[in-house]
Structure 1
Amino acid sequence: MRVARLYRYPVKGLSPEPLDSAELPTGGYFPCDRLFALENGPSGFDPAAPEHQPKIKFLMLMKNAALAGLATRYDAVSGVLSISQGGREVAMGDLRKAEGRAAIERFLSDFVGAPEVRGPVKLLEAPNGFRFTDSKSGFVSLINLASVDAIEKAQGAKIDPLRFRGNLYVEGAQAWAEADWPGKRLKIGGVTLEVLKMTDRCAATGVEPGTGRRDMDVVQTLRMNFGHIDCGVYARIEKGGRIAVGDAISLA
């Protein structure tokens, strides 16, 4: 097995950013991943005492499919988030500044619109040691590309693996081999990942990346053909270090 692709998602629900490599912190999260979330009306999130919140409290693909039609890029050095649509920049803001956050909030509130926007859209930043992941186990998410191929055959249509919004895409494993990984460890060079659980899927996988069209029911395809709604696994970073596209992965 090897690392085929790496992605981060700086803003929950917005587009992925491909990486050549990543430095994984021991006991932490995938770097620059789900650092921000877009609160869809008051969520009760308290940055002074952060607790995991249901994803329904934020703008996200399961309910707000149009978000997949936007291309976003976040510069961690400058703090600037840029949003493009159809190859044209439509919004930009420095997330370190109130006016920059407000510019992003206004654009997305108008773009998503009523009735999907339930209240003021507010961009939240995760405090240290916290991320806006769908699961409390979401330190790193891994997707087996062979399993995506199996779903594609069952669906009878091309499936972009980015529908599953993983951090690390694995090549060279058998389809559904990841079902045996929970409780085991994956080694990538000097990095050790402890696999925690399978990842159950929702209606967000039915949204086509890049267009925002809701064009298939991947959850129903999984249920009808494989007897579950899982694709991928969550893992904890037991021993950190650098990983890169092309690195070998071994199961321990």
Structure 2
Amino acid sequence: MPSARLVTIQRFPVKGFSPEPMEAVELEADRFFPADRLYAVENGPSGFDPAAPAYLKKTAFLVLMRNARIAALKTRFDHESRVFSLTLDGKPAVQGDLSTTEGRTRVEDFLTSYMGTEAQGTLRVLEAPAGHHFTDSLKSGFVSLLNLASVRDLEGKMGFAVDPLRFRMNLHLDGWEPGSELDLAGRTLEIGDVRLEVLKRTERCAATSVNPVTAERDLNVVKGLQQSYGHVDCGIYAKVVSGGRIAPGDEVRLAA
């Protein structure tokens, strides 16, 4: 298998909301992708207990699978100040310090008004306690990787442009054959000093139908995957075995 290149890096500080591009990232062994899915917006009572954090179905939160309109909110999270800023139609909508009750309330009040009938109860900003992230899978959601060649192949089969950001993955790679990443479970990838053990394929859901630019549910990606390949997988999850710093342009190799 030829080597690939790391093209882009992004994290999603608040589950379901827009990505934050990164110039580089420092990964640590046995840790989740840093500052990724640190917060989530609870859509009605979920029973989440920060003293005993456990996996909850994504539908417990505002997520694109059910709430396409949150894609229209462009967000920015400052990790030092903990200020979360949202814009709508290019204009500032609200900002709040998520480390304070006042700041969280400001964001919650705006989202409650914005979501209207899609709010299934009180909307509440939750912060992940130490060692927990609001990923779709606590057992495999450490680092996510997307093969851009697979996205291009899907585009060709569907006859429509497919924005890679629909898949909400941390690392975008290029240089592999389409679909070749789906057979890498159990293998190890090397990016500089970083070693990643591939755990499983990423099963896609209706979130991918939402256009990340227009917030329209305009393309049935899940149906396209099923009709084109006989499955709904696109991307892979991996565990960090050895840590280090990685950046776009780095070579991604399959360990011997």
Question: What TM-score does the superposition give when structure 2 sets the normalisation length?
Answer: 0.97
Distance across 2 between alignment mates of 1:33 and 1:220: 28
Q: Which residue of 2 aligns with 1:75?
A: 78
Could you say what secondary structure the match of 2:42 adopts? strand
Distance across 2 between alignment mates of 1:130 and 1:184: 25
Q: Which residue of 1 aligns with 2:23?
A: 20
**Match for 2:120: what amino acid?**
R
Q: Which residue of 2 aligns with 1:231?
A: 234
Q: Which residue of 1 aligns with 2:189?
A: 186
Distance across 2 between alignment mates of 1:51 and 1:251: 33
**Match for 1:20: what amino acid?**
E
Distance across 2 between alignment mates of 1:168 and 1:177: 16
Distance across 2 between alignment mates of 1:49 and 1:199: 26
Distance across 2 between alignment mates of 1:57 and 1:18: 26
Distance across 1 between alignment mates of 2:254 and 2:111: 42
Q: Which residue of 2 aligns with 1:124?
A: 126
**Match for 1:79: what amino acid?**
R
**Match for 2:122: what amino acid?**
P
Q: Which residue of 1 aligns with 2:33?
A: 30
1:3 to 1, 6, 11: 6
1:245, distance to aligned residue in structure 2 (A): 0.6
Bigger Cα displacement from structure 2, 148-157 vs 193-202: 148-157
1:20, distance to aligned residue in structure 2 (A): 0.9
For the aligned residue pairs, the C-alpha RMSD in angstroms reads 0.6
Q: Which residue of 2 aligns with 1:151?
A: 154
Distance across 1 between alignment mates of 2:88 and 2:13: 18
**Match for 2:35: what amino acid?**
C
Distance across 1 between alignment mates of 2:52 and 2:13: 21
1:1-252 aligned at under 5 Å gives the runs 1-114=4-117, 116-136=118-138, 137-252=140-255
Distance across 2 between alignment mates of 1:229 and 1:129: 30
**Match for 2:123: what amino acid?**
V
CA contact under 8 A between 1:66 and 1:211: conserved in structure 2? no
1:30, distance to aligned residue in structure 2 (A): 0.7
Listed one character per residue, the Cα deviations across residues 4-59 of structure 1 (whole Å, up to 9, x for unaligned) are 01000000000001011001111101111000000000111100000011001000
Question: What TM-score does the superposition give when structure 1 sets the normalisation length?
Answer: 0.98
1:180, distance to aligned residue in structure 2 (A): 1.4
CA contact under 8 A between 1:71 and 1:210: conserved in structure 2? no
Query: Which runs of 5 or more structure 2 residues have no equivalent in the other structure?
Result: none
Could you say what secondary structure the match of 2:251 adopts? coil
Could you say what secondary structure the match of 1:67 adopts? helix
Could you say what secondary structure the match of 2:152 adopts? helix
Query: Which runs of 5 or more structure 1 residues have no equivalent in the other structure?
Result: none
Distance across 2 between alignment mates of 1:5 and 1:185: 20
Distance across 1 between alignment mates of 2:175 and 2:54: 37
1:106, distance to aligned residue in structure 2 (A): 0.9
Aligned length: 251
**Match for 2:124: what amino acid?**
K
Distance across 2 between alignment mates of 1:25 and 1:120: 35
1:155, distance to aligned residue in structure 2 (A): 1.4
